[in-house]
Structure 1
Amino acid sequence: MNYNLKYYKFGLAIMAVILTFLSCKDKVKNKVSNEEAAISTFTNPLKVEFGDPFVLDNGDGTFYMYGTGQVENGFATYSSNDLVNWKFEGRIYEGNIEASWTQKNFWAPEVYKFGAKYFLFFSADDKDNPNDELENFKIGVAVSDSPKGPFKDLTDQPLFDPGYPIIDANVFKDDDGKFYLYYSRVCYKHPVESEISQWAKEEGLYDEIEESWVYGVELAADFKSVIGEPQLLLRPPLEMNDRNAEWESRSVTSGEVNRRWTEGSFTFKHNGTYYMMYSANHYAGPNYAVGYATSNSPLGKYQKADNNPVLQKNIDKGGDVTGTGHNMVLSLNGGKKMYTMYHGRTKAMGENRVVFIDKMNIEEDGTLIVDGPTTESIPKPLEN
């Protein structure tokens, strides 16, 4: 009897060892699985405090992000090989120096690689300001041999002067090799009569409403001048029953400010159609949002979409993101995947603008959809 009990206890001990081993194996397996999941996913916002983000695909597996902020009187860049983790590379352009036409308010840089050169398009206040205007923005171009700079002004003056202050340069190269420049006329000293402005006056909110409009013009191949006259492409709706009037007028109807914006445009081509994404409302407020319009020609006429806005605050739906805007579009895997990068604000970051990247898609009928703003865990752009 004692003999059997001895072997019974031995068997129990062996079984305990086996169960412990299997349990440890499962824990290791689960740990590896969790680590793999952590590697292939990320959460917005990215750890980059930029406004107006723009990303250059350098074609060698490296991406460079440019934006408003991080350095005084100029611009800086970050680099990444996965579009999620970014390394600060320092200043790329310094303005407000003796040899430059620039003075202050260095905004919305975009860098393009054409041939072996890199071209930086940006806006800043012009030193030449005989009437002492509060907003004297012009668009400039600088060039470098490296995406990390240093960039030097292509000429000693702004690209051109349309007769009003301008910001938010965006460049598009069409299939025929022609270049186009898109930009925003700022609201400054640009009051516009509309049903919205009349409503605001009757409500005792504002005596006038200033507006920002998006223009386009052909760009010379040497980037030193423009060709022809700028064409008005997008503006806020004139009538209150316009399907885009409500969301584009929120900064006015909420009593935030007496301005309506159409700015921060980004143009790309998909299946023969030109898409222009743009931002509306006050860039520093919660209502900043993104819409889009389409055209059969790079210089219009552009028709705003019915499903605008395609990107806006989610705080009303239980989220914590506001001020989503000034986006750009990044095509990956030969255009099979599309992402949009933009800035927004969160409760944790307060007034600081931070960068988001979210997936977007164009359906068979041409409808553009953005899956954002997201703050939950989502697959990394280059791993799904």
Structure 2
Amino acid sequence: MMSVLPAMLAAVLAAGTPMVPDYSTAEAGNPFVAGWYADPDVAVYEGEYWVYPTSSRPYDEQTYLDAFSSPDLIHWTRHPNVLTTTDVTWAHRAVWAPAPVQRNGRYYLYFGANDIQSDAELGGIGVAVADRPEGPYRDAIGAPLVDRFVNGAQPIDQDVFIDDDGQAYLYYGGWRHANVAKLNSDMTSLGRFPDGSTFKEITPANYTEGPQVFKRNGTYYLMWSEGYWGGPDYSVSYATADSPTGPFSAPTKILTQDPEVAKGSGHNSVINVPGTDIWYIVYHRRPLSETDANHRQLAYDRMSFRADGTIQPVSMKVRDNFADNDAVGWRTYGSTWSAADGTYRATASAGGKALQDTNFANVTYDADVTIESGTGDAGVVFRATQPAVGTDSYRGYYAGLTTSGRIILGKADYNWRQLASAPMPVARGTRYHLRVQATGSTIKVYADDMTTPRLTVTDTTFTTGTTGVRVFNTAAAFDNVAVD
């Protein structure tokens, strides 16, 4: 998803001022790019952030790799087909988990291909090279770099880490086994350890696949995925060591599915904003309503460390400030919706809705609402289910602001029942901050003043459901959506 940079950001970039993305999550929304993708790995090249994922499709259709670049982790440009099987004579399917790295003035991309099930099959881990981050990448050696099972590890899910002394390491492994090998300085051949071995097994407890290694304050962190990639139990754990080859500490799980936000979260990488101690975990996950295992999307959230260097559990946050001028992940029912100028706009209609794929029970839901024209109302939907096109075609609650000067709270069950209202001056073209706090049967609605609720009701009709925004006979703009 590519968008036009806002004028302020363009001016900053033109001035050469480095961007320091300091966010709590993908503030412009997760997923942060459109399309079905998985297994993201990342690199920072000349001040730009690059994400290289797997195309999440049936194995026989995984014949190419795309990449995405961003100056600020908000605005993303898609680079299609940076590597295809046309450029790798021995690869024909299941091109997985690209791992990018820059060295010797060139860009290297390590990838798995063919999903081999035994040493009798051709495939494994390859390496491609290019002169630019966006490719095109070409097979560097004309054959797999790792083409067989060693220590029980399927040759997939590679990661490359270059230590402070310049030594590069290749970590990889599926089928519940992980290996590490040294890469020679040419980055296209394997070295040996002092004992003469090429591979060392470093499999931690509960390991499934997807190793990722980084270093912080002299400590080596090994991360990996547990569970089945197609199921809800997919998750991320980590361990630490004083050496790039271990031994590693006992595992700690830090990212799991959230039944209110997303499922199947795993196969991660990490971004460290250069020159800072700001870290993000980049991973894939499956929307709650999706049942196809390949319907995976790219997300990132803030990753924080405690004073002792341990990683805090990662919270999958729900935010969208539409700064990327996109509304990936939103589903619309009536009205015409568009994301532009950092807001999400709806044309006037009799009950047009845009909903997220969430399932919150107790919730604090914030959004900015601006009524632009019309004679009706606009606001937020929560604990909603069974949506369809139509005035009150959903089951759930709605809180909004009316052009007649009231704040209202009601519920829809394919009909409308108002629960409460109060006078409030509402001017067209003025932005109002709306907050809903729903805890059990108690619902409180705030507007601008976040200390005193304007409406408080008790209702037990709806206990859980999705969040969204809605218009009724008005055109409106929405911004700064945050759900906790």
> Is the pair's TM-score, using the shorter chain for normalization, greater than 0.5?
yes
**Shift in Å, 1:51:** 0.3
What's the counterpart of residue 81 of structure 1?
Answer: 71
Alignment of 1:41-52 (within 5 A): 41-48=27-34, 49-52=36-39
Question: Could you tell me whether the CA contact under 8 Å between 1:45 and 1:375 is conserved in 2?
Answer: no
| 1:155 and 2:124 matched | no
Q: Which amino acid aligns with 2:76?
A: W
Does residue 310 in structure 1 map to residue 254 in structure 2? yes
The TM-score with structure 1 as length reference comes to 0.68
Residue aligning to 1:280: 226
Distance 1:128 1:333, change over 3 A: closer
Distance 1:59 1:172, change over 3 A: same
Return the alpha-carbon distance in structure 2 between the equivalents of residues 93 and 75 of structure 1. Answer: 5
Question: Residue 101 of structure 1 contacts residue 128 of structure 1 at CA under 8 Å; is this kept in 2?
Answer: no
1:336 equivalent in alignment to 2:277: yes
Q: Tell me which residue corresponds to 1:361.
A: 304
Deviations for 1:136-165, whole angstroms, at most 9, x for unmatched residues?
641100000011111001111111334453
Question: What do the CA deviations read for 1:101-148 (whole angstroms, capped 9, x no partner)?
Answer: 2121100011112242100001002899884x5xx6411000000111
- C-alpha contact 2:119 2:149 (8 A) present in aligned 1: no
AA at the equivalent of 1:86: W
Q: Aligned partners of 1:123, 1:47: CA distance in 2, in Å?
A: 23
Match of 2:268 in 1: 327
Q: In 2 relative to 1, CA 286–378 (structure 1 residues): closer, same or farther, beyond 3 Å?
A: farther
- Residue identity opposite 1:324 in structure 2: S
Q: What residue in structure 2 maps to residue 266 of structure 1?
A: 212
Q: Is the 1:234–1:302 Cα contact (8 Å) retained in structure 2?
A: no
CA distance in structure 2 between the partners assigned to 1:320 and 1:266 by the alignment: 24
**Deviation per residue, 1:28-50 (Å, 9 max, x gap):** xxxxxxxxx9xx94232223331
Q: 1:223 aligns with which of 170, 182, 187?
A: 187
Whole-angstrom CA distance in 2 between matches of 1:278 and 1:92: 25
Q: Does 1:120 align with 2:109?
A: yes
CA distance in 2, matches of 1:94, 1:75: 6
Shift of residue 87, structure 1, vs aligned partner: 2.2
The verdict on how the C-alpha distance between 1:80 and 1:359 changes in structure 2, with shifts beyond 3 A counting, is same
Distance 2:191 2:249 in 1: 24
5 Å-filtered alignment, 1:1-384, equals 41-48=27-34, 49-60=36-47, 62-69=48-55, 72-95=62-85, 100-125=89-114, 131=120, 137-164=123-150, 165-184=154-173, 186-187=174-175, 212-228=176-192, 229-236=198-205, 248=206, 261-305=207-251, 308-315=252-259, 319-351=260-292, 352-377=295-320
Once the two structures are TM-superposed, the CA of residue 379 in structure 1 deviates from its matched residue by: 11
**How has the CA–CA distance of structure 1 residues 177 and 42 changed in structure 2, closer, same or farther, with 3 Å as cutoff?**
same
Shift of 1:365: 0.9
State the 1:371 CA deviation: 3.1
Q: Which has the larger radius of gyration?
A: 1
For 2:245 and 2:133, the matched residues in 1 are separated by 29
Q: Is the 8 A contact 2:213 2:222 kept in 1?
A: yes
- Residue 102 of structure 1 contacts residue 126 of structure 1 at CA under 8 Å; is this kept in 2? no
Amino acid in structure 2 at the alignment position of 1:233: I
* 1:67 and 1:109 in contact (8 A); partners too: yes
Describe the SS at the equivalent of 1:341. Answer: strand
Aligned mates of 1:180, 1:333 — CA distance in 2: 21
Residue aligning to 2:393: none
Provide, for residues 65-110 of structure 1, a one-character-per-residue CA deviation record: whole Å limited to 9, x for no partner: 211107741211122222133222211111156x622121100011
Structure 2 length as normaliser, TM-score?
0.55
CA deviation vs aligned residue, 1:316-372 (integer Å, no higher than 9, x gap): xxx131111011110014132011100001124543101111001122212112432
Give the length in aligned residue pairs: 284
Q: Cα RMSD over matched residues? A: 2.6
Give the secondary structure class of the aligned counterpart of 2:279. Answer: strand
**Residue aligned with 1:213, SS:** coil
1:376 deviates by 3.6
Structure number with higher strand proportion: 2
Output the CA distance in 2 between the equivalents of 1:76 and 1:376: 25
CA displacement at 1:224 relative to structure 2: 2.3
In terms of mean alpha carbon deviation, does 331-340 or 119-128 score higher? 119-128
Where structure 2 has 5 or more consecutive residues not aligned to the other structure, the ranges are: 1-22, 193-197, 324-484
Which ranges in structure 1 are unaligned for 5 or more consecutive residues? 1-36, 188-211, 237-247, 249-260
1:332 and 1:140, CA in 2 relative to 1: closer, same or farther beyond 3 A?
A: same
Distance 1:375 1:300, change over 3 A: same
* Higher RCO structure, 1 or 2 (CA under 8 Å, sep 6+): 1
More helix per residue: 1
